[in-house]
Structure 1
């Protein structure tokens, strides 16, 4: 996974507690926190962001 805040690439499957250190919702938390900056990324939104980036690049042309 690539963090949308800082661009750091990491494997979300290797993070203990999905990188969460402050939230008490370890079992139901849908965020994966970046080990570099702590930003909460949503893995289910990755495809939507990829689509938006592709669409944005198409309009630039």
Structure 2
């Protein structure tokens, strides 16, 4: 995953995760080990879906 604040590439499974800040429980964020920004994991799934959908639309347009 790439941090949306600083651009650092990190593995969300090995970085900090929700609960490490002590402010909330179960917010599903991956904390960047470089800058400490809380990146939403749900946002990453939505972005992947949108990217795949865009690629599919482009391939259909190229067939026409």
Question: Whole-Å Cα distance in 2 between the matches of residues 47 and 21 of structure 1?
Answer: 22
RMSD, matched Cα: 2.7
TM-score, normalized by length of structure 1? 0.60
> Partner residue of 1:45?
43
Structure 2: unaligned runs, 5 residues or longer: 55-64
For structure 1, the residue ranges without an aligned partner over 5 or more in a row are 56-61
TM-score, normalised to structure 2's length?
0.58
Once the two structures are superposed, residues 10-43 of structure 1 have per-residue CA deviations (whole angstroms, 9 ceiling, x without a partner) of 0011135x275322545x1311110000000001
Instruction: Flag the structure with more relative contact order, 1 or 2, with Cα contacts below 8 A and sequence separation at least 6.
Output: 1
Q: CA deviation at 1:44?
A: 1.1
Count of equivalent residues: 53
Q: Which protein is bigger by CA-based radius of gyration? A: 2
Q: Distance in 2 between matches of 1:23 and 1:48?
A: 26
